[in-house]
């Protein structure tokens, strides 16, 4: 039976920086959810979080992705839309903690009509994954900004929202940027000091065939040393993840060149994946 209800469209509280990095357009960030809903959202936009990011510590008992009762922090949930996995009555918990609403990611595609205690909606597993990725990307971007020396005041100028991010609430980023983007770049502050940076990246094997071996090839300009560890990635199954690190070193006197660009290429017999590496130096 299919019951039609009000369709709520949550527009994600898109941060300007995330838009710039992902080149996302508005449509890509609109997801439709279905539920019987008698609420009308009071605000046009809400901050979005999920169970993992709003957890009250790491040693809680219960499933944090499912937002189980007792796993969430009131401070991190208050006023936000909380994305949770699987329908298990999370609306009650989130309501108690002052959350603005909930988005429930279903385990499988179904037509669901279910009344929520708070503004709520169901989304398909596919859309749920997009929402999770989006939440992860904004958080890693905040970590990146913290690492770059931004503080809550300057991050607010960039993100434009009323929400204040405090760098102490985010796990410190690993490596030079703390991001998992294909490209790597550093902005070198002092032209007289040498270049030194480390990037950590994780890739997922989504190509054809389950077994595949990719080798790294680096093209770099004179004076910029790039090492990839390990320089071979062997995948044994689809969707397997592998991590590698890229170490950059360079001397200070590089003949006044302001932008140094290198290229890391992972290739197997059929495919190649390119990652540009850029080093910006101010002029002396
Ligand atoms: C979060 O954890 C602290 C310390 O364990 C506890 O005092 C507090 O009640 C918890 N908050 C919620 C909302 O469960
Ligand atoms: C948490 O709950 C979700 C939804 O029911 C489920 O898909 C996931 O496997 C659970 N995770 C753990 C660690 O039990
Ligand atoms: C989001 O990040 C968490 C850990 O930070 C990870 O376990 C999860 O797989 C990520 N989800 C997606 C969809 O990228
Ligand atoms: C944040 O950084 C700006 C610019 O560096 C500085 O003027 C401001 O005092 C800092 N604010 C806080 C709260 O540390
Ligand atoms: C770099 O070295 C030059 C020449 O010694 C000096 O004039 C300049 O002030 C130095 N720049 C910085 C940012 O330290």
Mean pLDDT across the stretch 183-192?
Answer: 78
| Residue 131 and residue 34 share a domain | yes
Angle at 71 between CA 94 and CA 101, to 5 degrees: 20
C-beta of 268 in contact with ligand 2 (< 6 A): no
Q: Which residue has the higher pLDDT, 27 or 35?
A: 35
Segment 173-191 shows an average pLDDT of 75
The atom number, within ligand 4, closest to the CA of 152 reads 13
pLDDT of residue 226: 95
Asked if residue 192 and residue 103 are part of one domain, the reply reads: no
Domain CATH number, residue 73 = 3.50.30.30
Q: Residue 1 pLDDT > 60, yes or no?
A: no
191, 192, 194, 283: residue to mutate for ligand 5 pocket, most atoms within 8 A of CB: 192
CATH assignment of the domain containing 275? 2.60.40.2310
Mean pLDDT along residues 1-8: 26
Cβ–ligand 2 contact at 52 (below 6 Å): no
The atom of ligand 3 lying closest to the CA of 136 is 1
Q: Give the number of C-alpha atoms closer than 13 A to the C-alpha of residue 157, restricted to the C-beta side.
A: 5
Structural domains counted in the chain: 2
Residue 166 counted as domain residue? no
Mean of pLDDT values over 158-167: 67
Task: Determine the structural domain holding residue 187 and report its residue range.
Answer: 175-280
Sign of CA dihedral 183, 206, 20, 138: negative
CA dihedral for 219, 222, 226, 227, sign (positive or negative):
positive
Whether residue 126 is found in the same domain as residue 225: no
Residue 147 lies in a domain: no
Which of 71, 105, 135 is at the close of a domain? 135
Interval 208-236 mean pLDDT: 89
Domain boundary among 135, 159, 188: 135
Q: Which residues line ligand 4 (CB under 6 A)?
A: 151-154
The pLDDT of residue 22 = 32
Smallest-distance ligand from the CA of 153: 4
- pLDDT computed for residue 269 by the predictor: 80
- Three-state DSSP class for 5? coil
Q: What is the pLDDT of residue 163?
A: 66
Residue 225 lies in a domain: yes
CB 50, CB 72: distance < 8 Å: no
| Residue 145 belongs to some domain of the structure | no
Q: Cβ distance 167 to 152 under 8 Å? A: yes
Q: What separation in Å is there between the alpha carbon of 149 and the centre of ligand 4?
A: 10
Per-residue confidence band for 155, with pLDDT thresholds at 50, 70 and 90:
confident
Checking DSSP bridges between strand 81-85 and strand 48-50, what pairing results, if any? parallel
Can you give the pLDDT at residue 74?
93
- Model confidence pLDDT, tens digit, residues 78-97: 988 888 988 888 888 999 99
Query: Is pLDDT of 256 > 80?
Result: no
* pLDDT range class, residue 248, cuts 50, 70, 90: very high
Same domain? For 131 and 68 the reply is yes
Q: Above 70 in pLDDT, residue 268?
A: yes
In this prediction, what percent of the chain has a pLDDT beyond 90? 15
The confidence score (pLDDT) of residue 72 equals: 92
H and E: helices and strands count for the chain: 5, 14
Report yes or no on 68 lying in a domain. yes
Residue with tokens 């994780």: 202
Cα 191 to ligand 5 centre (Å): 7
- Residue 113 and residue 34 share a domain: yes
- In terms of domains, do 118 and 53 share one? yes
Q: Could you tell me if 49 and 114 lie in one domain?
A: yes
How many residues in total does the chain contain?
A: 284
More confident site: 284 or 120: 120
**Distance from Cα 31 to the centre of ligand 2, integer Å:** 22
Ligand 2 atom closest to residue 63's alpha carbon, by position in its atom list: 1
Mean pLDDT over each residue of the chain, to the nearest integer: 73
Distance 62 CA to ligand 5 centre (A): 56
Query: Has residue 103 been placed in a domain?
Result: yes
143 part of a folded domain: no
Query: How do residues 55-78 score in pLDDT, each as one tens digit?
Result: 887 666 788 889 998 899 999 899
| 8 Å CB contact between 55 and 73 | yes
Which atom from ligand 5 is nearest to the alpha carbon of 190?
Answer: 13
Residue that is last in its domain, among 68, 103, 135: 135
User: Measuring from each residue's beta carbon to the nearest atom of ligand 3, which residues come in under 6 Å?
Assistant: 52, 129, 132-133, 136
CA of 81 from ligand 1 middle (Å) equals: 20
Does the residue 39 lie in any domain? yes
Cβ–ligand 2 contact at 85 (below 6 Å): yes
pLDDT the model gives residue 264: 92
Residues 131 and 190 in one domain: no
81 and 187 fall within a common domain: no
Q: Are residues 36 and 126 in the same domain?
A: yes
**Claim to verify: residue 182 and residue 115 sit in the same structural domain:** no
Average pLDDT over residues 219-230: 92
Q: Are residues 216 and 117 in the same domain?
A: no
Average pLDDT over residues 98-121: 72
């Amino acid at each position: 039976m299919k019951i039609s209800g009000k369709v709520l469209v949550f527009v994600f509280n898109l941060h300007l920086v995330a838009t710039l990095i992902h080149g996302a357009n508005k449509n890509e960030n609109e997801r439709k959810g279905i539920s019987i809903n008698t609420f009308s959202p009071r605000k046009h936009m809400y901050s979005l979080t999920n169970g993992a990011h709003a957890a009250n510590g790491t040693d809680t008992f219960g499933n944090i992705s499912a937002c189980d009762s007792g796993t969430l922090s009131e401070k991190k949930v208050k006023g936000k839309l909380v994305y949770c996995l699987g329908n298990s009555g999370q609306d009650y918990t989130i309501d108690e903690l002052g959350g603005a609403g909930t988005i429930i990611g279903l385990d499988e595609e179904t037509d669901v009509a279910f009344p929520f205690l708070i503004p709520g909606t169901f989304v398909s597993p596919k859309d749920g994954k997009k929402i999770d990725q989006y939440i992860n990307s904004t958080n890693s971007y905040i970590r990146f900004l913290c690492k770059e020396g931004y503080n809550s005041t300057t991050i607010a100028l960039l993100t434009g929202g009323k929400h204040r991010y405090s760098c102490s609430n985010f796990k410190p980023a690993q490596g030079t940027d703390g991001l998992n983007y294909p490209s790597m770049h550093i902005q070198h502050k002092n032209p007289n000091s040498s270049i030194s940076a480390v990037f950590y990246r994780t890739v997922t094997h989504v190509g054809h065939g389950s077994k595949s071996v990719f080798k790294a090839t680096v093209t770099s300009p004179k004076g910029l040393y790039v090492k990839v560890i390990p320089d071979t990635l062997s995948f044994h199954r689809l969707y397997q993840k592998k991590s590698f690190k890229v170490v950059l070193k360079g001397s200070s006197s590089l003949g006044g060149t302001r932008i140094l660009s290198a290229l890391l290429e992972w290739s197997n017999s059929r495919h190649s994946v390119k990652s540009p590496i850029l080093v910006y130096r101010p002029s002396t």
